[in-house]
Copies of this chain bind each other. A is one copy, B any other.
């Protein structure tokens, strides 16, 4: 794939994937037909099966493609030295929120059809999803070691709360429960981190001693 198409020709595979994003986001994975995707892509029905084995494989591809980018981003943020945990978490929040801002349909599909679909489909990707939590937990964990974050809240637990809060925000936007403006997006980044870190950081009055 990739360079296999004739010069000048559009990458039909990509075209189909993009069409799928639109259609899945609009109608939902279960409530759309493969022909809807083909139509949206302006491509014959059969061609979809030339590039993909099944309808699910398309969703699969969309998820893995995007999720990997996020995992890489988190890993890179993890790797930064010197930077305070709060700032790292801000970067993670920014990345996710910006992902939604730039590709709302894709993020909607990933969240609604994969991340939150415990049955059948989501199961396959649990490992990938777990990786994301682990990456975030990593950030929290090092902050705990440094005594910046409370020791009695486990890193995994904190990571779930943090990610959960962000995903809930995205859901709020997806469901039109929250206003969607550039300011909202920008503001949300700081607010989630404030809300969560304020609860994770040891209180400003009496700093906890670094044990060991």
B112 touches A108 (CB 8 A): no
Q: Which of A118-177 contact B (CB under 8 A)?
A: 118-120, 122, 126, 129-130, 133, 150, 152-153, 156-158, 160-161, 163-169, 171-172, 174-177
- A157 — which chain B residues lie within 8 A by C-beta? 188, 191, 195
- A166 — which chain B residues lie within 8 A by C-beta? 164
Choice from B130, B133, B174, B199 contacting A199 with Cβ under 8 Å: B199
Contact mask for chain A residues 176-212; partner B; CB cutoff 8 A; 1 contact, 0 none: 1110000000001001101111111101110000000
Choice from B117, B129, B153 contacting A195 with Cβ under 8 Å: B153
Choice from B30, B153, B168 contacting A161 with Cβ under 8 Å: B168
Oligomer copy total: 2
Alpha-carbon separation in the docked complex, A174 to B126 (Å): 11
A118 touches B112 (CB 8 A): yes
Shortest Cβ distance from residue A172 to the other chain B in the assembled complex, whole angstroms: 5
Q: Interface on chain A toward B: helix, strand, loop, or mixed SS?
A: helix
Given A164-B165, A177-B126, A203-B205, the answer on whether A194 and B133 have CB atoms closer than 8 Å is: no
Given A160-B168, A196-B195, the answer on whether A119 and B28 have CB atoms closer than 8 Å is: yes
Instruction: Select from chain B the residue with minimum beta-carbon distance to A177.
Output: B130
Alpha-carbon separation in the docked complex, A133 to B165 (Å): 13
The 5 nearest A-B residue pairs measured at CB: A164-B168, A198-B199, A28-B119, A199-B199, A116-B116
Please name 23 pairs of A and B residues whose Cβ atoms are closer than 8 Å in the assembled complex, sorted by A. Answer: A27-B119, A28-B120, A30-B30, A31-B119, A108-B118, A112-B119, A116-B116, A122-B175, A153-B194, A157-B191, A157-B195, A158-B195, A160-B165, A161-B192, A164-B165, A164-B168, A164-B169, A194-B199, A195-B199, A198-B200, A199-B200, A203-B203, A204-B204
